[in-house]
Chain A
């Protein structure tokens, strides 16, 4: 499968600041990238779907102005949490899909732990 990395693996920030999380597909052209959020002891919830070169499609209830997604290349997508607040503290996970994947298969990154103080 595809090798997916995320940076940083964890970040602590002050309330009101913005945080950028990178998702890289190291050996795979990711035409589609997904961003998920996972709160402690809960499942993964899809936040948005981004296609390379297009605007992201956000799930219902996810503020697009707060969670800025950029998928400028086939190997990189970024998620920026703007004006972060403690309730944004979560585990953010990206996944990739593309022409090399089989039927709707996704490959997941290792996740980024965000803690907002």
Chain B
């Protein structure tokens, strides 16, 4: 759905700890979900994606979990590093065409 102008939530983690970033999506008919990382002043960078016929997908140091029952998506980052500090957005693909709808975003701050 439409995102609104709200302050982004912040997650602060210690370097080396695991991070979990959560996202609630809006459309139960969405069938494709993506997590993006955005560093200050840059465009979004693809991290990992998942289709609705899966509930878990793993990448390098990242895992995405999808719970369609409650329309919830999470991104887990293992052994968080200072370079992981950024804003993280989930995006859902609506059933019509290629349009992506972005979630509100979460700021991840990694403390050394």
Question: Which A residues are closer than 8 A to B by beta carbons?
Answer: 1, 4, 6, 32, 34, 39, 41-46, 49, 91, 93, 95, 97, 103-111, 113
Contact = CB atoms under 8 A, between A and B. Distances in A.
B44 A43 contact: no
Contact of A104 (B5, B8, B36, B98): B98
A43 B105 contact: yes
B90 to A, nearest CB: 10
Q: What is the interface residue range for chain B against chain A?
A: 20 to 34
Chain B interface, DSSP helix/strand/loop, else mixed: loop
A45 B34 CA distance: 15
The 3 closest A-B pairs by CB, nearest first: A108-B43, A43-B3, A43-B102
Given A1-B46, A49-B99, A111 B41 contact: yes
B99 A105 contact: no
Contact of B51 (A34, A44, A91, A103): A103
Contacts of A95: 43
B100 interface: yes
Interface string B61-80: 00000000000000000000
